[in-house]
Amino acid sequence: MKSKLLVISVFLLSQSLLAETYVCPHELSRFERGGEIEIYTFTREGNNFKKEWQPSFGESAWTKDILKIELESDEYLVLTQVKDLSGASLTVDFINKKTKEFGGNFITMDNFRSEKPYQVTYGKCKVIN
C-alpha cells in the first residue's frame, strides 16, 4: 500500500513540476484604455491549457477557459476554443515560445460584419515552470 502511495505521489509531483505556465500582461492602449493592463495566465493541463485573466484593472473576478492545443512545435503554441453561447465565437491565442510573445483574439460574426478594424491582444510573457 505504501509503495502505491509513493508511486502516485511521485507521479503527481512530477506532473506539477512539468506544468508549463505563461504569464502574459497586455497593455490596453490598443483598445483606447491606455494605462490599463490585463494579465493572461496560460497553464498546461494535460492536452489543454487553462487560460485565466482579469477582465479589467481593478475588477476582482477572474475568468477561466480551457483552450485546445491546435498546434505545438519547438517555436509555437496555437490554442483555440469554440463556443456557442448567444452566437458562435472563436478564441485563438498564439504563443511564441522562443521570443515569449503572445497574441490573441476573440471573434464572432459581428466582427466580420463590422467595417471598423478589430483590435487584437499582444504582449510578452514570462514562463514559470
What does the pLDDT look like over 41-99, one tens digit per residue? 999 999 999 999 876 655 566 788 999 999 999 999 999 999 887 788 999 999 999 99
* CATH number of the domain that residue 124 is part of: 2.40.128
**13 in any annotated domain:** no
**45 in any annotated domain:** yes
**11 in any annotated domain:** no
Residue 1 in this model has a pLDDT that exceeds 70: no
**9 in any annotated domain:** no
Q: Quick check: 78 and 57 in contact, CB under 8 A?
A: no
Number of domains, the chain: 1
**15 in any annotated domain:** no
- Residue range of the domain that includes 104: 21-128
